[in-house]
Structure 1
Amino acid sequence: MATAAEVETEEETEMMKMVKLGSYDGKVRLLIVSGDSESESAAEETMLLWGIQQPTLSKPNAFVAQSSLNLRIDACGHSLSILQSPSSLGTPGVTGSVMWDSGVVLGKFLEHAVDSGMLLLHGKKIVELGSGCGLVGCIAALLGAQVILTDLPDRLRLLKKNIENNLRHGDLRGSAVVTELTWGDDPDQDLIQPLPDYVLGSDVIYSEGAVGDLLDTLLQLCGTQTTIFLAGELRNDSVLEYFLEAAMKDFVIGRVEQTQWHPDYCSPRVVVYILVKKLEK
């Protein structure tokens, strides 16, 4: 049986893992604590997620229908209609032609965090990576942010159409523009001058081969005052572990627990992380 001192130490350790990161006012669970290595912490995190959330046993796509030509969702007092291209989904490497649960979860999380006073997006510069169909960027613009949505050149047509269709409102508080960005390449100056307040990404951790370029781009886009929100589908534990281990070298990472998500948009198949760039030594 643990002594009172041991119990107190365990409780203190657990409390130390809950911290505020970046510009998000809620507390997140820190992925690495003193004494752990990046590899140990990444392995522990993936085992924990697959043990507790059991994503492989969950029904996929709770909030989207990828066979449909559009997704309708209410956000920020507006009814959004997001066009999809299901026929493109069979093309190898193309996932941005349809919506995934992680995008819906991230968009509604941002809305809930702003409504709860945990996050301020009005007037802030946001760069979204792998914007796909554009739902997250649309919601961020409706919340008052100045959003630059990015994706590969062949994905921009559908993205632009969704931005035009959904952000025509006369009461739009923010703005949204679309530009191409290939991870690993030097970003255009408008992306980094000035550096963004926030970087967003949903379903961007999908293969080990893309992790290096993704992290290179995050390092180029982010200063120490930039807060990154990444939401991901829990498909492959080894890919997630590989990303986390590599990312911990340059970023402090915290997981947002589902109690802080939008109460109507939670899924055991999705995880939300906050990353903040480490100070240079």
Structure 2
Amino acid sequence: MTSQPLAAALGKPIEDAGEETFLLFSQDIPSNNLGFVDSKADSLEVEIAGHEYILRQSPGLLHSNRGEGTTGAVIWKITPLLAAWLTSLPRILSGVLHNRAVVVELGCGVAGLTGLVLSRLVQCYVLTDQAYVMKYLKENIAANATTPREKKTFKKRTNEKKFTPGERLKALALDWEVDSVQNLKSAIPPGAPIDLLIICDCVYNEYLISPLVQTCVDICRLGSTAADATVVLVAQQLRSDTVCELFLDALMKEFNVWRIPDNELSSQLRSGSGYVVHLAILRDQVRKAE
């Protein structure tokens, strides 16, 4: 299922950002606090799909006075949940998440967990965030990418290739407000479209909504075609209804947006979990495909 039949399978896109936000926040939302896994730990051990990852964080950086933001310094609760769901290769993403796929993630944070997990299953995965994240991120890649500990009970996937991180998992500094997405061309295979763009828990600051959405637009136009349009996946914790509505409204000006139905998600990401996962495809690319 490429992006064209994916849009058909999802049905009618969301029409009103305010109504979608009301529906999301009218649920009984459990308290996830701010959403950190453990903001005081220097490192965390996470197991996904039989692989164990030891991930370094920076609690000191999180609580520093760095003006440009520090939220990428620690791991957020939704990240391992999303990574676990994606590594199951969900049916709804079968046309865009496969062994030849090129995946880019925005705002990956110091852990790069989703990239560590999914890069075992795709052709190329590019982790991006601001420059201050890169030191810790590359250390986590080096510590986990080559030989993550594998439990004996875990059966290796038939499509899981021998892991060569230098070729398949890359880290690139990308600031939504100042950097050009053209820089991604140095990290992805020549001429390859970007199949999937992942944004996990990056929607929290109303002042960053405009540059984030514009970055999404620019990446989706980076070599994609109507037949192979880039699919944007946005996973977020439900915190502020105001910020959520502002983001959805801005996103829907450029994209057709759908909420992934519960029957396609893991139980940890369904309605009532405090999280939501949307898919988006550029409006003009959907029209061309039709």
TM-score by length of 1: 0.79
CA deviation after TM superposition for structure 1 residue 210, in Å: 0.4
Q: Percent identity?
A: 27
Q: Does 1:78 align with 2:59?
A: no
Please name the residue that 1:8 is paired with.
none
Please name the residue that 2:202 is paired with.
204
Determine the C-alpha separation between the residues in 1 that align with 2:121 and 2:5: 15
Determine the C-alpha separation between the residues in 2 that align with 1:240 and 1:265: 17
Letter paired with 1:100: W
Deviations 1:220-273 (A, max 9, x none): 111341111111121111111001111111111111234322345667221111
Other structure's SS at 2:39 match: coil
Q: CA RMSD in A?
A: 2.8
User: Contact conserved, 1:138 with 1:176, CA < 8 A, in 2?
Assistant: yes
- Which stretches in structure 2 are left out of the alignment for 5+ residues? 148-160
The count of residues paired between Structure 1 and Structure 2 equals 252
- Which stretches in structure 1 are left out of the alignment for 5+ residues? 1-19, 34-40
Q: CA distance change for structure 1 residues 191 and 254 in 2, over 3 Å: closer, same or farther?
A: farther
My pick for the range that moved more, 181-190 or 61-70, is: 61-70
CA deviation after TM superposition for structure 1 residue 103, in Å: 1.4
Deviations 1:92-114 (A, max 9, x none): 52111111122122211211235
Q: Does 1:45 align with 2:20?
A: yes
Q: CA distance change for structure 1 residues 164 and 95 in 2, over 3 Å: closer, same or farther?
A: same
User: Contact conserved, 1:123 with 1:145, CA < 8 A, in 2?
Assistant: yes
TM-score by length of 2: 0.77
User: Contact conserved, 1:31 with 1:42, CA < 8 A, in 2?
Assistant: no
Q: Does 1:190 align with 2:186?
A: yes
My pick for the range that moved more, 216-225 or 254-263, is: 254-263
- 4+ runs of 1 displaced by more than 4 Å? 20-31, 264-267
Q: Does 1:172 align with 2:163?
A: yes
Determine the C-alpha separation between the residues in 1 that align with 2:280 and 2:58: 31
CA deviation after TM superposition for structure 1 residue 77, in Å: 3.0
Letter paired with 1:69: D
